[in-house]
Structure 1
Amino acid sequence: MLYGAECWPTKRRHVQQLSVAEMQMLRWFCGHTRRDRVRNEVIRDRVGVAPIEEKLTQHRLRWFGHVQRRPLEAPVHNGVLERVDNVKRGRGRPKLTWDESVKRYLKD
């Protein structure tokens, strides 16, 4: 589920959808249904799995470390860390960029 997730900025909606899908799989794995009314924490403890939001943060910060260690002329370094200033952006709230999401994770 996390393949390539370190490269795209995630919104709360994306994290929620990933966690719902993960819990569906874990419940199926344990043989429980929603009708059994078993708490998510109990299922996570039984299986021994960390929440997907923590795993997503770990993957993203690991990828950020790889990008930082690349030489400055590397395409991934230029593409990720450069920002174009001459582009006219639309109205409303600006879209969350990858580097802004990484800064938020580093602050946490």
Structure 2
Amino acid sequence: MGITWQDRISNVEVLRRAGMPAMEAMITRSQLRWTGHVIRMSEERLPRDLLYSELREGSRPRGRPRLRYKDTLKRRLGLAGISHQQLETLAIDRAGWRAVVRKSAEAVHREWEHREDKRASRRHAATATKQAS
């Protein structure tokens, strides 16, 4: 691509030039794919057991708790428009789940592009205001 550090090009622009989706979209896709795989596992498998488990005792430290896998999964499911009740029924159908994962990743990518466009327009307006002064 011929881009160097001295060009001072943002990561967003590098991803656009490479034709790659946003990192958040790639992470969403991977996380949802793996979750579907775990849900389809038999109930005695350890990964499935860990996905549905809760701690019986203990406390978490003060302040904002560190994000767990479940926390990020809930956020990604919310962005995809999937409720917790629908999760298992959707994941059992492999072809259907694959389509859900693809649509979710595309939705995250579109949201990311929208945020970047808004950020670019704010930057443009700020530079226009500075030049007018």
Give the TM-score normalised by the residue count of structure 2.
0.52
Deviation at 1:51, TM superposition (A): 1.6
In structure 2, distance between residues paired with 1:65 and 1:56: 14
Deviation at 1:39, TM superposition (A): 5.2
Q: Which runs of 5+ in 2 are unaligned?
A: 80-133
The one-letter code matched in structure 1 to 2:75 is: R
- In the alignment, structure 1 residue 106 sits paired with structure 2 residue 77: yes
The count of residues paired between Structure 1 and Structure 2 equals 79
What's the counterpart of residue 66 of structure 2?
Answer: 95
Deviation at 1:104, TM superposition (A): 0.3
Q: Which runs of 5+ in 1 are unaligned?
A: 1-29
Deviation at 1:82, TM superposition (A): 0.1
Deviation at 1:37, TM superposition (A): 4.2
Identity between Structure 1 and Structure 2 (%)? 33
Deviation at 1:65, TM superposition (A): 0.6
Give the TM-score normalised by the residue count of structure 1.
0.62
What's the counterpart of residue 51 of structure 1?
Answer: 22
Could you report, residue by residue, the CA deviation over 1:9-61 in whole angstroms, capped at 9, with x for unpaired residues? xxxxxxxxxxxxxxxxxxxxx12123324454543333221121110110001
What's the counterpart of residue 12 of structure 1?
Answer: none
RMSD: 1.9
The one-letter code matched in structure 2 to 1:99 is: K
Contact 1:70–1:77 (8 Å) recurs in 2: yes
Distance 1:42 1:92, change over 3 A: closer
Higher percent of residues as helix: 2
4+ aligned runs moved over 6 Å, structure 1: none
Distance 1:97 1:38, change over 3 A: closer
- In the alignment, structure 1 residue 85 sits paired with structure 2 residue 56: yes
